[in-house]
Amino acid sequence: MESSKRSEGETSPNELLSRIENALKTATLVASAFINQTLKVDYKTEFDPVTEADREVNAVLQELLLRDGEGWLSEETTDDLSRLEKEAVWIIDPIDGTKEFISGIPEWAISVAYVVNGKPLAGGISNPATNELVIGAIGAGVLYNGAPTAISDKQTLAGAVILGSRSEAKRGEWDRFNDAIFTVRHVGSVAYKLGLVAAGIGDATWTLVPKHEWDVAAGVALIEAAGGFVRGIEPVQLRFNQERPLLRGLIAGPLKLKDEIEATLGL
């Protein structure tokens, strides 16, 4: 593991992108080896599966990303609250969308975010099943499979493609949008959805149910780096690396759609 005593303020956006890209490419190779294989599945809770792939991806990301003086928050690492004392923290989901991963649905992703003083500054999302990689940093823009990209330039929700939640739809939580002026495409991983919106492949996305920080931190960095907006359900500034790393919900998309989305959701 590479060691450095530099502070986060001395880490450039391009260096962060290089670190994230290199780590994600290695983690993608690790995860890809499990695709179409028989998986041993354990359950952290009745509805919360975990596989060997989750653990192996977590280990390689921690080895490649974490440096001296930085904190670590990951779904698959026992939480060490010493991270609260760190200015710079990596927030990781080794596999977001584990249920889709287990079922062979190509809508899961590896999610990596670099957060400084509560704000995601850089992030990367890789979907090994579809060979998609989105990386970006505030001040450096966003790359989709190596090419510069940006948030959608959609001016109105009419005809827009909204990336919705597959699990929320199954519970009927998106039924109220059945006759909406926009089209809903349901996708598994929330990290993957945020990455697609940052890349301009979907116009906007939202989830109105609680999400952990590791589900969305990378996506928040990417959306903002791509020129879009992100907000929570509550009218307060989003802050990450909290003692209880849980958000009530999240809305993301182009700034020009913000008012219309908020009106649609009654916010």
Confidence of residue 1 (pLDDT cuts 50, 70, 90): very low
- Tens of pLDDT, residues 16-39: 999 999 999 999 999 999 998 888
Task: Identify the burial level of 82 via C-beta atoms within 10 angstroms of its C-beta, where 0-12 means exposed, 13-18 middle and 19 or more buried.
Answer: exposed
CB 56 within 8 A of CB 64: no
Distance CA 194, CA 125 (A): 9
- Tens of pLDDT, residues 79-128: 999 999 999 999 999 999 999 999 999 999 999 999 999 999 999 999 99
pLDDT at 158: 98
Distance CA 74, CA 60 (A): 12
Mean pLDDT of 174-182: 95
Asked if the model's pLDDT at residue 5 lies above 90, the reply is: no
Mean pLDDT of 1-11: 44
Domain residue limits, the chain? 8-149, 161-265
Using only C-alpha atoms, the chain has a radius of gyration, in whole angstroms, of: 17
| CATH number of this structure's domain 8-149, picked from the four choices 3.40.50.2300, 3.30.2320.80, 3.30.540.10, 2.60.120.10 | 3.30.540.10
Distance CA 158, CA 197 (A): 17
Confidence of residue 6 (pLDDT cuts 50, 70, 90): very low
Asked if the model's pLDDT at residue 4 lies above 90, the reply is: no
Mean pLDDT of the chain: 93
- If DSSP codes are grouped into helix, strand and coil, which group holds residue 43? strand
Mean pLDDT of 203-212: 95
- Tens of pLDDT, residues 48-81: 888 999 999 999 999 999 999 999 999 999 999 9
| C-alpha atoms less than 13 angstroms from C-alpha of 201 in its C-beta half-sphere | 17
Asked if the model's pLDDT at residue 9 lies above 60, the reply is: no
Q: Report which of 77, 95, 76, 75 is spatially closest to residue 35, judged by C-alpha positions.
A: 95
Distance CA 173, CA 157 (A): 19
Mean pLDDT of 191-217: 97
Confidence of residue 148 (pLDDT cuts 50, 70, 90): very high
pLDDT at 62: 97
Q: Report which of 130, 110, 112 is spatially closest to residue 120, judged by C-alpha positions.
A: 112
Confidence of residue 236 (pLDDT cuts 50, 70, 90): confident
Distance CA 5, CA 128 (A): 32
Distance CA 144, CA 91 (A): 21
CATH top class, domain 161-265: alpha beta
Q: Report which of 233, 221, 220 is spatially closest to residue 262, judged by C-alpha positions.
A: 233
Confidence of residue 165 (pLDDT cuts 50, 70, 90): very high
Query: Taking the complete model, does pTM exceed 0.85, yes or no?
Result: yes
Cβ-defined contacts of 244-248 (< 8 Å, 24+)? 245/73, 245/91, 245/212, 245/213, 245/214, 246/210, 246/211, 246/212, 246/213, 247/210, 247/211, 247/212, 247/213, 247/216, 248/210
